[in-house]
Structure 1
Amino acid sequence: MILSIPQGARILATGSAVPDLCINNQHLSQIVETSDDWIVNRTGIKERRILADKEKSIIDLASSASMNALQKASMKPLDIDLIILATSSPNDLFGSAGQLQASIGAHKAIAFDLTAACSGFVLAIVTATQFIQNGSYNNILVVGADVLSKWINWTDRSTCILFGDAAGAAIVQSCSQEDNGILGFQLNTDGKKAYQLSIPYEQNNYKTINNKTLKIVQGQFKHIVMNGKEVYKFAVSHVPVSILQCLNSLNILPKDIHWLLLHQANERILHAVANRLSISPNKIISNLSKYGNTSAASIPLALDEALNSQKIANNDIIVISGFGAGLTWGTVVIKWKCK
């Protein structure tokens, strides 16, 4: 979708945060039957960060990433109008964005959660852009954060090797049309395949003891379940189509983009998508080997590291695509604008 805009929007600054505890593949081989070679060959992951401190939560990671972004933008928390927290592992099932708002002191900002798993950051950037372009807000803090280590079955080799914890933040700000940096987007969902990657809710019959006439059905959420082969096929077939549709709507050719930033799920997926688009592997932004799949945090974390290393230059065109649970996938094309 091409954005027809009276008001421009751009990413002003980014920030990120990861936990201190680093678990490498050798460590995991002591927990489940696996090896460093097996994990690296199939995923590209060498280590991941885990939030193990009982005194810390996703709010601490999200706050650190947010303050990092604010500092780079030379902004104060009170300058923020809106906070969108993209997460599937909130500190509170009712939502954690309010806790983030309080933690960083952004008391003037409205705050809400957005749940779309690994596509969450892309959807949050698109949502923030809409608020800016319709004139509702000027400074929006978008945070992708997940602590999926809390929802992993650490005896399940098919999932425990994949995920890590992290947070990434971006400040989206209004600007002139000439400085617009959010060029367009394309989004999709196929709910019929939601079961391929989920944290399912399991009911069990429970009857209250004190009131025999009241029957209450309760239950609990289980661990992450994933059909790895199907998710792989979904990603390599649908993500390139999404990217091409978005690029075509903008009259941009794949060869003209500078960077391809995909959700950091699996190294094979990253290269398969690039190959289908005839994009050089040298244009892939990836930090998967260090952090694993950090869900909604993976894209902003990788973007922040690429910016910190000065890999991305002014006016570089970056194709960003997220995909995962839902099943939901989407692309946003940005032109990086230096301050």
Structure 2
Amino acid sequence: MATQKLGIIMHGVTGRMGLNQHLVRSIVAIRDQGGVVLPNGDRVMPDPILVGRNAEKVAALGRQYGISRTSADLDGALKNPDDTVFFDAATTQARVDLVSRAIEAGKHVYCEKPIADTLDKALAAARLAKQRGVKNGVVQDKLFLPGLRKIAKLKEAGFFGRMFSVRGEFGYWVFEGDWGQPAQRPSWNYKLAEGGGIILDMLCHWRYVLDNLFGEVKAVSCLGATHIPSRVDENGKTYAADADDAAYATFELEGGVIAHMNSSWCVRVRRDDLVTFQVDGTHGSAVAGLSKCWTQHRVNTPRPIWNPDVPQTMNFYDQWEEVPDNFEYDNGFKIQWENFIRHVVADGPWSHDLLEGAKGVQLAELGLKSWQERRWLDVPRLTV
């Protein structure tokens, strides 16, 4: 069987997400396994060029991970006809311009989300990709989490009966940066001027999770908050954290399902994982984290009785049964990279295009508007 190279311009891989999930655990891992297998048995070997403003930094990454091609010249990389795919994981505010430049250069494009900081920009990029006829995609990694894949299997098997509610809890305590505890996330996340805010960040995720697993989002009511108004940055300087660091959103989904998602960088975790989804239906319920999933069917649902005068004797966690790991789950980012590569090279199935990314930006904008106007808002259908 033949092996062909696929030239990929990788921009923004010096950041945490771009480095860990996209470079190391996806592209490097795919290269180490011998490439991506196509339906006919042929293989595609990613041939990345790492591009960034700091030439020394990307060169050091190249040496560390066995990648010979690095550059600080994005324009030069876009001119190379052998590199047919452009990937971006840099800042949200610059993403549309970068992706649009790549599309104009005839590249297929794949990028992190949010794909833009406004819906108008996101739709413009999606329209441009359609006009130029390039293949395009946006990262929708949470669909490939083992926990949510187990939820999808339960739904497919009819486990829930009629599904009617989804409750999600996401987040953890991000340290303020003082008293000897450095923050776990970059300071730009908490500055509006630099594209920060948890509503823009996380409602893009919840849109594709809800649409694909539970029902298309029809309406939203969202309340945001800035619970920690002052933080300390990477250089030890105190700054005004004016972006929203928590969001409490309710969604009406197609089919009558009601979903509620709490997203917060100001919450201390007492649950099974950093994100959990509880799905309730007439026949059964399930709770999923990143990897694990527990179920409770109606035939083994206990009968608790409310009595505030005596201590609770039931251990509610023990009343759930864990869904077994019947097969090995690969890294979700890597799986989506493999699917996109098959889409580019062999026209494999693909549904996570830039329009899907625009839907996430749309929901974030409506969430912010709902917060400002303190009311429910319908979610119009998008087309390009």
Q: Same fold (TM over 0.5)?
A: no
TM-score tier after normalising by the smaller chain length? under 0.3
- Normalised to the residue count of structure 2, the TM-score between the two structures is 0.25
- Normalised to the residue count of structure 1, the TM-score between the two structures is 0.27
Q: Which has the higher contact order (CA 8 A, sep 6+)?
A: 1
Larger radius of gyration: 2
